[in-house]
Structure formats: C-alpha cells, structure tokens
Chains A and B, each alone.
Chain A
C-alpha cells in the first residue's frame, strides 16, 4: 500500500517561512524594563500620584504592553506571546520578592534599634507601657517552656502513630487514623486553642498556664510530625526490614534498631520544622497563656508570656516605645525560627539516605 507523493496543501505555504528572521537583540527585555520604570515614575508624577505601589503597577503594565507591541512588530505574534509569558513570569517574581525583601528589611532595621543584651535578659517587670526599657526575657522563657512541653507531648505520639501507620497499619483503624490525621492538619490554630479552652479551662476549671498553651500547640504539632515521619519511614527500603527479619530479629527490634535509625535524619528535620512552626503561633497562646509582664518560670501555674504574644501585646499598646519593643521581639522571633529552619534543613541534607536522586 503505497501513497503517491501528496500535493502540499496551500495552507502550509503561508506558514512556511525562512529559517531566519529578524530577532530582537538580547538586551531588549532589560531596555524595555528600564523604559517602563521611567514611564511608571513619569506618569505617576505627572498625574499627581505619589504611592510607589502605583508607580510599580504602572511600570509593570507598560512593560507588558511595550514588550508585546515591539515583539509583534519585529518578530511575529507567536514570539510575542512567548515574550509576554516570559515577562509576566518575571513580573510575578519581582512582585513576590519586593514585599518579602521589605518585610526582612523593616524587621531587621527596626528591630536592631532596641535589641541588645539587656533586652534579651530582662522582663517587663515594672516598666510602664509608654516608657522605653524592659525586655523580652520572660517571653523567651515562656516560649521555650511551652514549645518544649509541646514537643515532649507531640513528638513521641506523632512518631509512634507514624510507626503504626507505616509498619503495622492495615485495616479500618489505620484508615481512620490516616483520615483524621489529615483532618487535624487543617485545624486553624485558634480552633485548637478554643478546644483546650473549652475543656481545660472552662470545664475543668484550671486557670491560664503555659501548660495549657503547650497542649494546644501539641495538637497543632502532632499531625505535622505524623506526616513527615511517615514520609521518612516510607523512604526506608523494604529490603532492610526483610533482611533484619530474616535474621530472626523480632519486628519491634527491627523497627527500633534498623528502620528508625535509618530515617532518623529526616525525622529530626520534620520535628524541628514542626517546632519552628508552632514557635510562631500566637492565637492559642493568646487564649490560654494569657500574657504577663513578669517572669514566670513555672509552666504549670499562672500566666506566662511568649515571643509572638509579646509582639502582639506591645503592638496593641501602641506607644512608640512599645512598638519599638515589638519590632525587636519580632526580630528575635524570626531569628529563632529561621535558625531552627536552617539547622533542620542542614540535618536533612547531611543525613539524607544516599538513594540515588
């Protein structure tokens, strides 16, 4: 069955051009960008708008339109669409980077105004709201204690639940647990706080304490630990387990001595990331730990403070001195969280099981 040489349809003659055509020089996008920024500022000033946000938006608009027009004229509309897509993607990138750079810059610069050794080692005892001075020690202490207790509760339960799901779980109970772990990951932090509030405080009558806050934080932490530990345990190759079992090692020892140590790097990372997350939680702490100006080293009795709660309180006070303190505390908080994150990721990379990636 052979086909005679087909006549080429006329339709194609129009789309078949030469292989080379006019191309815009490489510096075109940069040039258009500079032009757009100038246009943005120019139009903004001429129209009497002074907000930099507006200038930025105008510049972005001009950039996209100019790119399309110039490219269509020189290279053709398909290339124009390609360039538009490229420029839109770059615009998205800039749009995202600008507020985040701003956030980092503002926090660091304003925080450094008040942050010093005194700030880190003293509480707000005796300091009036409008005064300068005072520190964040009581809040630091509170955060460390609350987060520590939360981790002590959540990490073992989360770990063992993950072990159950991966190593033991089949059947209805496992399905139910998996489903509800999913549900738990979606609990808004304020709802977790409300739950502890309604049981611990309202029903059982205990007053505010660091421990109450820790329990709410533990609820938020548990599903995260379960999920990340599950992922890590699943990465451990089955051959390892089978080799151990074939040697006559009982299952529980296999898990304890073979599986967990293999996955320990990733598990540690997961736990640390979860810790970093709950460190920054304000809402449940607001409800349950109440806040205070004094140092309260006992997490089981009496109100405490915490870093994020302190930031909120000082901001709510509103005086210049208080807001300055809020920034400094925010800087401490962000540094704390970032260091935890970086260390966690460092451990992940260091201890990653060398399964060819």
Chain B
C-alpha cells in the first residue's frame, strides 16, 4: 500500500562534513515527486536517507525524522533492514545479480523474506515483470542470466525486482541516465503506470524528464560552495516550471547555471 512520507528537520553528514541541512517536506502517496538540482547539491544523498542507505557509507550519519505514514524510520529500535524492505530503490546503473537468472533476480527480494512455494513465486515474478513491462520480452527465457539483456531491459528487470516485494515507496536514483532515449521513454511510461500503486520519488538531472514524469518537483541547491545542500522550493511541477517562486529556481530552470 503506497504510503505518505513526512520529512522534518533532516540533516545528513559524512563524518563531520554536513552534506544536506534541515530538510522538511511531504510526499503524497501514489504520486511521483522529482528531485532536481545541480551536481553535488545533495539530492542523491537525501534520497538515500529515505531508505537508510546513507548510513551504509562509512561515516554516514543522519539527524532528524522521516515518517512513513505513522512510523519514524529513524526511531529507536527500528531495524534498517526492515526499512529497506518497505522502501525500495532502483539505481543509476542497472545492477541485476549477474550470477542469477532473470527469474531468480525478480524473486530475490521475496526469497529473502520467507519461503514460498515455487508456484507462488512464479505468480509474483510474472506479475512483477508484467508490471515492469518486461514480461513479453523475457517470458521465454526466465532461466537465462540477468546480465544477458540490453541496458534498458536490465533496468526494467531491476524495477521488477524492486516492485516484487510490494514496497510502500519506490526510490529511483537517476534511473535513466545510463540508458538510450528509447529505453528512457519506455521507463518514463512505466513510471506513469507504477504511480497508481506506489509512492515514487525520482532524482533526475534531466529537467525535461522531471517535467514529463512528475506531479510535484523539489529543487535543491547549495547555499554556497562548501555549504550543505538545502531544499529551495517544492511545488506542483507545472508551477515550478512555469512560474517558480524563488529566483534561484528560475535561474536553474532556464539554464543560467548548473
């Protein structure tokens, strides 16, 4: 069931260096929110705090609250492993497990969380691959290794893998930046369909993509060189791209920097 995300006062550090400062925002369920901003402004770092991947980096540390409906992801006693089960992630470079077949790749998350009969797994795998618009292309070779597909297909495989466990939220970190334009379009269409089931947050360098795909857009920026990144403006996508409230947003959108 797609959930709502409520972030308040979130700051993230690498050791003593503060990367992002005091971010507060809300993401509505069953919507697509895009994070845009120049390189190094902390949008990927912020994304990774939403599924507690930031702390995997040596020295990574987070302060603040992230509420998923009514549970604080950073509450005391919360197991990061459980968080990552409910908040899924798709990465920039497609990374299907090379030694596993396509079937096993999609089933990987399921197998971690319990033992299921082969027939149950097959059902879920088929449903997930259909949900990722990949079923027709691979239904005859589910036992072949996942690394034998094209880049766009591999990324859709990773998406199938992520949605197979029915996460509450799906995070996507520049999912199309390593792909060709046609695969990119296919995945953007897919996101449009997936948002009916999941809450989606997507980081992207491509402003046109953000305009095409998202309902709401958040613009991040550094206050100055060496300063942590901050959330500058969050609004409906249409408004951000036609009539932003903050000057910096307007400058970025029209290409005056970044």
Contacts and interface: CB of A to CB of B under 8 A. Distances in A.
Are any A and B Cβ atoms less than 8 Å apart in their complex? yes
Interface of A: 1-3, 5-6, 8-9, 11-12, 14-23, 78
Nearest to B116: A11
B77 A15 contact: no
B1 interface: yes
Contacts of B75: 19-20
Nearest to B130: A3
Task: Rank and list the top 10 A-B pairs by shortest CB-CB distance, nearest first.
Answer: A20-B77, A20-B78, A15-B113, A15-B114, A19-B82, A19-B78, A19-B71, A2-B193, A12-B166, A11-B120
B79 interface: yes
Nearest to A1: B193
Interface of B: 1, 68, 71, 73, 75-79, 82-83, 86, 112-114, 116, 120, 123-124, 127, 130-131, 133, 165-166, 193, 196-197
Contacts, number: 54
A126 B165 CA distance: 82
Given A17-B82, A78-B112, 19 more contacts: A2-B196, A3-B130, A3-B131, A3-B193, A3-B196, A5-B197, A11-B114, A11-B120, A15-B113, A16-B86, A18-B71, A18-B82, A19-B75, A19-B78, A19-B79, A19-B82, A19-B83, A20-B82, A23-B77
A14 B214 CA distance: 33
A24 to B, nearest CB: 11
Contacts of B78: 19-20
Contact of A20 (B79, B133, B193): B79
Contacts of A5: 196-197
Contacts of B165: 12
A23 B79 contact: yes
Nearest to A9: B124
Contacts of B127: 6
B166 A8 contact: yes
B50 to A, nearest CB: 13
A5 B130 CA distance: 13
26 contacts: A1-B133, A2-B193, A2-B196, A3-B131, A3-B193, A3-B196, A3-B197, A6-B127, A6-B131, A9-B120, A11-B114, A11-B120, A12-B166, A14-B114, A15-B113, A15-B114, A17-B82, A19-B73, A19-B78, A19-B79, A19-B83, A19-B86, A20-B77, A20-B78, A21-B77, A21-B82
A74 to B, nearest CB: 12
A8 B1 contact: yes
Contacts of B112: 78
A187 B197 CA distance: 64
Nearest to A10: B120
B139 to A, nearest CB: 16
A11 B79 CA distance: 22
B166 to A, nearest CB: 6
Contacts of A21: 77, 79, 82
A21 B114 CA distance: 17
Best-buried of A2, A18, A19, A22 by chain B (most CB within 10 Å): A19
A23 B75 CA distance: 13
A17 to B, nearest CB: 7
Contacts of B77: 20-23
A10 to B, nearest CB: 10
A6 B77 CA distance: 32
A23 to B, nearest CB: 6
Contacts of B114: 11, 14-15
Contacts of B116: 11
A149 B68 CA distance: 73
A186 B233 CA distance: 66
A18 B75 CA distance: 12
A6 B130 CA distance: 12
A264 B68 CA distance: 59
Nearest to B114: A15
A15 B86 CA distance: 11
Contacts of B73: 19
Contacts of B133: 1
Nearest to B121: A11
A15 B167 CA distance: 12
A6 B197 contact: yes
Contacts of A20: 71, 75-79, 82
A32 B112 CA distance: 27
Contacts of B71: 18-20
Contacts of B124: 9
A21 B79 CA distance: 7
Contacts of B79: 19-21, 23
A73 B193 CA distance: 42
A23 B76 CA distance: 10
Nearest to A8: B166
B155 to A, nearest CB: 19
A17 B71 CA distance: 12
Contacts of A9: 120, 123-124
Contacts of A1: 133, 193
A19 B73 CA distance: 8
A102 B197 CA distance: 61
A245 to B, nearest CB: 37
Contacts of A3: 130-131, 193, 196-197
